[in-house]
Amino acid sequence: MPSKSIDHAFTARGLTGAASDPTHAGALSFMRRKFTKSLKGADAVVWGIPFDAAVSNRPGARFGPQAIRRASAIFDNDPQYPFQRDLFEDLAVIDYGDCLLDYGNHQKTPGRIEREAAKILKSGAFLVSLGGDHFVTWPLLKAHAATHGKLALVQFDAHQDTWFDDGRRIDHGSFVGRAVRDGVIDPAHSIQIGIRTHAPEDCGIQMLHGNEIDEMKAADIAAAIASRVGDMPCYITFDIDCLDPAFAPGTGTPVAGGPSSAKMLAVLRQSGGLDIRGADIVEVAPAYDHADITAIAGATVAQHYLGLLAEKRAGN
State yes or no: 157 annotated in a binding site: yes
Q: Is the peptide bond before 132 cis (omega within 30 degrees of 0)?
A: yes
180: how many CB neighbours lie within 10 A of its CB? 20
The closest of 46, 48, 47, 11 to 26, measured between CA atoms, is 11
Q: Is 159 known to sit in a ligand binding site?
A: yes
Q: Which residues contact 220 (CB under 8 A, 6 or more apart)?
A: none
DSSP state of 67: H
Q: Is 165 labelled as part of a ligand binding site?
A: no
Handedness of CA 15, 40, 64, 11 (dihedral sign): positive
What number of other Cβ atoms are within 10 A of residue 56's Cβ?
A: 13
Tell whether 209 is in a known binding site. Answer: no
Q: Which of 151, 159, 8, 152 is nearest to 93 (CA)?
A: 8
Task: Give how far the C-alpha of residue 263 lies from the chain's centroid of Cα atoms, to the nearest Å.
Answer: 17
Q: Which residues are annotated as a binding site?
A: 134, 157, 159, 161, 239, 241
Extract the annotated binding site for Mn(2+).
134, 157, 159, 161, 239, 241
